[in-house]
A and B are shown apart, each in its own frame.
Chain A
Amino acid sequence: MNETMMIAGMAFVTFGIRYVMFAMAGRIRFALWFKQALGYVPPVVLSAIIAPLILMPQGYIDLSLANPYFWAALVAAGVGFWRQHLLTTIVVGLVCFVLLKWTMM
């Protein structure tokens, strides 16, 4: 029961956020400051999600060779800035991660 409520609530807020602008078809206008601030939301939320996962997988900041998340992310970021191509970034990052993880086992 609790589970059903939780999933229904999550579905409702997620769809609501995605649909409200489309539903009103441009009849909602945001103030300039709001739009400018909104522009920061995607990269900021995504980086707040991944920073602890990459830099502190064991719960503390770990930039040693024993942290494959950090090194694979570093290589992926380098490739990302260099090539500006998402698939290349993801594939290089994943391959690098698997190799590092594998050599450490």
Chain B
Amino acid sequence: MPSSKFTEFINGAKATIPMIIGAIPFGIIFGTLAEPSGLSIWGAMAMSLFVYAGSSQFIAVGLLATGVGPVIIIATTFVVNLRHLLYATALVGKVSHLSQGWRALLAFGLTDESFAVVNSRYLGRSDTVYAHWFFLGSIVAMYSNWQLCTWLGIGLGELFPNMTNWGLDFAMSVTFLGIIIPYLRNKPMWLAVISAAAFAMVLQDLPNQLGLVIAALSGICIGYASQQIEVRIGLHKATSGVIKATSDVIKSTSANKGSQ
């Protein structure tokens, strides 16, 4: 028997709790950063209400603080959020039977966090009649928490103006780190991630988050190219061949040494 709409909704919200724990400090620090960056209180709240994309909100606030104009901020938001296209591509088969209104609602809430939770729901269980209620439950939980934390952060920022020095921004880093780890299952992915990280650090001083954009594009190209190489010449075979040849060389050298 399929689960009821209500059970699915509650389960979706429950499954999102780990993500919420990571998002609490993240949302609060976003709220506290708003004022020092020059964003109004209403602007900060409106960003959480209507954009609802944590990492790009952080980046926007950082860019605002350095006096960058709206066009560049919007363009950066586009690049940073392009990953959501992949999430939508992965889930479109599960939602295409729903009404356009449902699909718009679910798309609005398609964050990294809800995607991770909802995708494993679809992969894990075959009874998906009311799984869109699970999806909605995850979104409602994540969204309400994000609004609450933004609002709290704005208030705390007024009370403790130096809160931005507490290092709560680590919450975002550790959440993203946790999301990256399951992707690291093959060599091209490792190469892509390591090179993107290296480029981002080397190019950090470029203006307008250009370093981030170049780093991301380079990482994607390097990952894709090494995947192609791996496929075409069979990197696995080549690697095992090299390892075997090396061990043969080592054996023969030690045999030589033994005979001397």
Residues of chain A whose beta carbon lies under 8 Å from any beta carbon of chain B: 2-11, 13-15, 17-23, 25-26, 30, 33, 35-56, 59, 61, 68-69, 72-73, 76-77, 80-81, 84, 86-87, 89-91, 93-94, 97, 101
In the assembled complex, the Cα of A75 lies from the Cα of B78 at a distance in Å of 32
- Residues from chain B with a CB closer than 8 A to the CB of A10 are 47, 51, 53, 56, 60, 73-74, 77
Interface size class of B (residues with CB under 8 A): 35 or more
Interface contact tally, CB-CB below 8 A? 251
The distance from the CB of B108 to the nearest CB of chain A, in whole angstroms, is 6
Majority-rule SS of A interface residues: helix
Contact of B200 among A19, A52, A89 (CB under 8 A): A52
A7-B43, A20-B85, A42-B86 known; A76 and B108 CB under 8 Å? no
- Residue from B73, B79, B84, B170 within 8 A of A93 (CB atoms): B170
Determine if A18 and B83 form an interchain contact, defined as CB atoms under 8 angstroms apart.
no
B96 CB within 8 Å of chain A: yes
> Are A47 and B18 in touch, CB under 8 angstroms?
no
Q: Decide: B183 and A42 in contact? CB cutoff 8 A.
A: yes
**Given contacts A11-B50, A22-B104, are A44 and B21 in contact (CB under 8 A)?**
no
Kindly specify which of B217-225, B232-240, B243-251 makes contact with the partner chain.
Answer: B217-225
Complex interface bits, B82-124 against A, C-beta within 8 A gives 1, otherwise 0? 1111111101110110001001101110101000100000000
Q: Which residues on B sit within 8 Å (CB–CB) of A69?
A: 167, 170, 173
Q: B197 contacts which of A9, A22, A47 (Cβ < 8 Å)?
A: A47
Residue ID in chain A nearest B75 by CB atoms: A13
20 contacting pairs across A/B (C-beta < 8 A):
A7-B47, A11-B50, A17-B84, A18-B81, A26-B93, A37-B223, A40-B219, A40-B223, A43-B180, A44-B192, A47-B180, A48-B199, A50-B173, A52-B200, A52-B204, A54-B173, A69-B170, A77-B181, A86-B116, A94-B174
Q: Which 8 pairs show the lowest CB-CB distances between chains A and B?
A: A87-B18, A51-B197, A93-B174, A6-B70, A44-B219, A21-B88, A25-B96, A9-B74
Chain A residue with the shortest CB-CB distance to B42 = A3
Q: Does B176 touch A at the CB level, under 8 Å?
A: yes
Collect the chain B residues with CB atoms within 8 Å of residue A6's CB. 60, 70, 73-74
How long is the Cα–Cα vector from A75 to B91 in the complex, in angstroms? 32
Task: Give chain B residues whose Cβ lies under 8 Å from the Cβ of A48.
Answer: 196-197, 199-200, 212, 215-216, 219
Interface string of B146-181 (1 = CB under 8 A from A): 000000000000000000000101111111111111
Question: Is the beta-carbon distance between A87 and B21 smaller than 8 angstroms?
Answer: yes
CA distance A45 to B216 in the complex (A): 5
Interface centre among B51, B59, B178, B193 (most CB of A within 10 A): B178
